[in-house]
Structures are given as structure tokens and as C-alpha cells.
Amino acid sequence: MHEERGSVEKIKVKKNICMKLVDATIVKEPGKTGSSWRIHYSLKLPELNCDYFKLTGVKGQGTGESFKQFPIQNNDCIIGDRGYSTAQGIAYVASQGAYSLVRINTNAVNFYSKDLQSFNLLDNINAVNTVFLMKSWDVLVKSADGHHITGRLCVIRKTEAAIAQALKRLKREASKRQSELKPGTIEYAKYIIVFTTL
């Protein structure tokens, strides 16, 4: 694997970081009339100990996947999948003095360059055209109150087999919805894209 960055810079090692994986899953009580619930849980790394969980409904305000479901402390690094990819959630983690690392939902978060211009992710990832090539950009995420959170957008190109598998899944889902895939969706399926403030 090789990485491309705009300039060589010193790596600052952050100490006393507590890494946590967060996710949620839906459970259903047995029987035809069984209720459904969403369990939000957090695992500490590297121990994989569950350090927090919460039970909510599956519908209504305050029940969805969000970093806001979790108590977050200074120097935590919260790792989430695409369901946690929102500017609101990233801002919440930053407001607690913590860091986030999230796989990006390209429809949910807008990025900006340091001069506050819109960062066109689709245009920039076209340069990442070799398997396992990595590239990163320093970007900003705008919170609801207008503040900008500094972070880094990291991209790695998948293998051809992984790309074919991702496209097959997307086409199957589009067929179920009776919709057509957008060209951007097809292009993004070729990459793993994460944003981190760490």
C-alpha cells in the first residue's frame, strides 16, 4: 500500500486516547405482536468490552443511530459506520473534547477546504485509480451552528473483486426499489472513504 499526501509533515502522536466502536442493532420480541427495540452499544478497544448500552424504540425522535446516543468523554475516539456519518454527530463528539472516525455516507456530509470552498469529493477521488492506493485531504465539516470542525478525509481504492461485489449489492438494492443507480454512487462504490478528527 502506498499513500499520497500534499506535503510531508511530522506525525503528532496523541496519548491516552480511548478507542471505542459504536453501533446499533434491532431486536424483536417473539410472536406476531412482539415489539421491536434498538440496542445502542459501545465496545472499548482493544479489549472488546461493552462499556455502555442503551435501549430505545425503533421509531420516533431520538431513536436512530447517532453518536448522541453515547456518553462521550475527553480524549475518546469514537468509531462508527455510515449510519453515524452526519455533521451533527461529528460536531457532538468534537464538543465533548473527543475525536471521531467514521465511514462516510457521501449523501449525508458536505466537506469544505481550508479556505471554506466546497470540497468536491467525486472530482478528487478520480486520482485514486490504483488498487490499495491511499490518498488523504485536510477538510472541514460545518456544524449546524456554523462552526467548522477540522479533520482528514482518507480514501483507499478497493480491489476489482470488492468493487464487483459492492456494485452487485447496489444493483440488487436499486432493483428492489425500482430505481436507477446514479453515476456518483457507482464511482463511490469503488472506494472505502473515512473521515477522522484524530
The DSSP result for 84-132, as a single string, is G--HHHHHHHHHTT-EEEEE--TTT--EE-TTS-B--HHHHHTT--STT
- State the pLDDT at residue 30: 86
DSSP state of 32: T
d(CA 95, CA 89): 10
- State the pLDDT at residue 73: 94
Set of cell numbers at residue 141: 465539516
Record the pTM.
0.84
- State the pLDDT at residue 14: 66
d(CA 164, CA 143): 35
Ranges of each domain in the chain: 17-196
pLDDT tens across 16-41, in order? 899 999 999 999 988 877 789 999 99
Which residue numbers in the chain have pLDDT < 70?
A: 1-14
